[in-house]
């Protein structure tokens, strides 16, 4: 039972002009797919060969953790994006954001600040803590809040340069502007519920 590469939840040109088909082709077919290939090579013939991706992540360190977590992180990231999405949040997450950050604009400013200052290849996440409040968390490399039992992962942005270099060169703030035009609040609400 190898780990499978999930299909992208949209067409490769569906996120244009914010994220190009060229970026998605590289990001999905080269980066995401390669993490799946490497992970399957690392679990083949081991105790984890038939484990779920989540179990592998929670029971791994080093290259096996890195590849497994990157498979999960990317699948989660694709689901955080959608065509004809973005803008202000709706539903329960809108209320929770107001409670924790004051307003959506204040949340966006806090997120952008955290993401712009997240050094190197990294991810920025919105999580729900056990007391129901929200927090913005930075991780490096493949690290993921999935391994923190005290939080629920709600939203992420991939800050590795391969996520934005083709479209935005090294200008991460411009990529973040594109990201806000694509956030799939329905998915964030599902995670929050
Ligand atoms: Mn990536």
Please choose, from the candidates 21, 26, 130, the residue with its C-alpha nearest in 3D space to the C-alpha of residue 74. Answer: 26
31 CA from centroid of ligand 1 (Å) = 6
Q: Which residues surround ligand 1, an ion (CB under 5 A)?
A: 158, 160, 163
132 CA from centroid of ligand 1 (Å) = 29
Please indicate, yes or no, whether the overall pTM of this predicted structure exceeds 0.85: yes
Q: For residue 184, give the DSSP letter.
A: -
Residue 52, classed as helix, strand or coil, is coil
The pLDDT of residue 1 is 67
102 CA from centroid of ligand 1 (Å) = 30
73 CA from centroid of ligand 1 (Å) = 8
Q: Which two tokens stand for residue 153?
A: 């992962």
Distance between CA atoms of 191 and 107, rounded to whole angstroms? 18
Strands (E), the chain: 122-129, 134-140, 151-158
Cβ neighbors of 41 (< 8 A, separation 6 or more) are none
Distance between CA atoms of 84 and 15, rounded to whole angstroms? 8
The pLDDT of residue 118 is 97
Per-residue pLDDT of the chain (193 residues; tens, 9 = 90+): 699 999 999 999 999 999 999 999 999 999 999 999 999 999 999 999 999 999 999 999 999 999 999 999 999 999 999 999 999 999 999 999 999 999 999 999 999 999 999 999 999 999 999 999 999 999 999 999 999 999 999 999 999 999 999 999 999 999 999 999 999 999 999 999 9
157 CA from centroid of ligand 1 (Å) = 9
Domains defined for the chain, CATH in brackets: 21-79 (1.10.287.990), 91-192 (3.55.40.20)
Distance between CA atoms of 16 and 118, rounded to whole angstroms? 25
58 CA from centroid of ligand 1 (Å) = 20
Question: E strand or H helix at 79, and its extent?
Answer: helix 62-79
162 CA from centroid of ligand 1 (Å) = 6
48 CA from centroid of ligand 1 (Å) = 24
84 CA from centroid of ligand 1 (Å) = 22
The pLDDT of residue 182 is 98
The pLDDT of residue 94 is 98
Residue 90, classed as helix, strand or coil, is coil
27 CA from centroid of ligand 1 (Å) = 6
């Amino acid at each position: 039972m190898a780990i499978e590469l999930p299909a992208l939840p949209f067409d490769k040109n569906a996120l244009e002009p914010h994220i190009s088909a060229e970026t998605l082709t590289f990001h999905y077919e080269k980066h995401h797919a390669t993490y799946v290939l490497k992970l399957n090579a690392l679990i083949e013939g081991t105790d984890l060969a038939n484990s779920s991706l989540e179990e592998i992540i929670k029971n791994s360190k080093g290259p096996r953790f890195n590849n497994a977590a990157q498979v999960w992180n990317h699948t989660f990231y694709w689901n955080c994006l959608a065509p004809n999405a973005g803008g202000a949040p709706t539903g329960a997450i809108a209320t929770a954001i107001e409670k924790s950050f004051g307003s959506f604009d204040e949340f966006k400013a806090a997120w952008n600040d955290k993401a712009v200052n997240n050094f190197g290849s990294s991810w920025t996440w919105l999580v729900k803590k056990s007391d129901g409040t929200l927090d913005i968390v930075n991780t490096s490399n493949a690290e993921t809040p999935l391994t923190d039992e005290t939080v629920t992962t709600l939203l992420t942005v991939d800050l590795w340069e391969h996520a934005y270099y083709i479209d935005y060169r090294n200008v991460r703030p411009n990529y973040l502007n594109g990201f806000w035009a694509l956030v799939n609040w329905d998915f964030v609400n599902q995670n929050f519920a």
